[in-house]
Amino acid sequence: MINPISAIKLSNQYAKGSIASRIKTSEKLNKDVFQQIIPLFEKRGSCFLSDLKARYESSMPENKLVQVLPIKQSVYFEQSGYVMLNDDVVAADCYILGIESRKKGKKNNIMIKSLPDFVHESTHIFDYLLNPKYLMNLAKMEKLGIYDKQYYKIYDELFYNPNHIGDFGLKNQANILEQAEIETRKALENIPCEEKIVFLNYMKYSMQTEYNAYDQEYKLVEYLRKTRNFASLKKCKNCNDYYHFPEKIEIINKLIKETIQKERAK
């Protein structure tokens, strides 16, 4: 059985209830943390990474292993908000949270414009901390060896892609969702049942946490622009206007249900 270790999940005091209630908890915890971080930027519109790191980690609701690093030092380079899996792929060692920074003397300086992205990635961290099944499914992906281009092609081009233009040729915005379902069915047609379910769940959880992250990023930017005198921040668009996360989650749930029913009927 794959179990996340206690260091990388929140206790049942927080990680409980329905999906909707956990989303609300994630948003509240993330907001609480950033209420502590925002003052660091108010004097000069920037802060040092060391100060941000200390404030973020001390503001976490429980003592968890989160490494705040400059993006270039992040294990995943241009990516962040990720879990570091250990060699046995049965748990996780820590979370990596990367942020864009610039050198100022001997220190890394963080500009206020990087804060929305930081909120976005922090949302992913809280979603993992509150939803152990996200982490367990990620570990299953590793264990089954299905972290590969074949699967990411489906995810990146058919689901996590606002333009829907790639090798699948989805250029007509009017039938994006219909075509995404058709092409996903084709791509997964001959995939073993277990792999298919694990991958579909991965896409579902990924779509959900991306929806949460873009939503919280949007809300923070609006809050800072209107109430904290950070009008220089670029206004965000509502991500669902072009990503259609809820509709895509419905498609994935439909495919999971059909896959399970087909397997049980054998």
Each residue's pLDDT expressed in tens, for the chain with a length of 266 residues: 334 455 567 888 888 889 889 989 999 998 888 888 888 988 888 888 889 888 888 888 877 667 676 655 444 433 344 454 444 433 445 566 767 777 776 777 888 888 888 888 889 888 988 988 887 887 788 778 776 667 778 888 888 877 654 444 445 555 778 888 888 999 888 889 999 999 999 999 999 999 999 999 888 888 888 776 676 677 777 777 778 889 999 999 999 999 999 888 87
- Residue 37's closest CA among 2, 74, 68? 68
Residue 213 to residues 118, 119, 155, 187, 247, Cα–Cα distance (Å): 10, 7, 17, 28, 17
pLDDT given at position 47: 86
Which pLDDT score, from 0 to 100, does residue 260 have? Answer: 93
pTM: 0.83
| Residue 154, pLDDT score | 84
Residue 21: the pLDDT is 92
- In the chain, where are the structural domains located? 1-131, 145-266
Residues in a beta bridge with 92: 85
DSSP string, 19-88: HHHHHHHHHHHHHHHHHHHGGGGTTTSEEEHHHHHHHHHHHSSS---EEEEEGGGSTTTT--SEEEE-TT
Residue 33 CA to residue 119 CA, distance in Å, equals 10
Rounded to whole angstroms, how far apart are CA atoms 40 and 55?
9
Give the tokens for residue 86.
């250990």
The two tokens of residue 177 are 């969702």
DSSP H/E element including 25: helix 19-37
Rounding to the nearest 10 degrees, give the CA dihedral for residues 42, 48, 50, 53: 50
